[in-house]
Amino acid sequence: MLVPVIGALAGLVGSVVAAGLATPVSADGESYITRELLWSAAGTVLIVSVLMWLWAATVAVRQARVWRPRGD
The mean pLDDT value for 25-53 works out to: 76
pLDDT in tens, 14-28: 777 777 666 655 666
Exposure pattern of 36-51 as b/e (b: 16+ CB <10 Å)? Answer: eebeebbeebbeebbe
Cα 46 from Cα 10, distance rounded (Å)? 10
pLDDT band at 64 (very low <50, low <70, confident <90, very high): very high
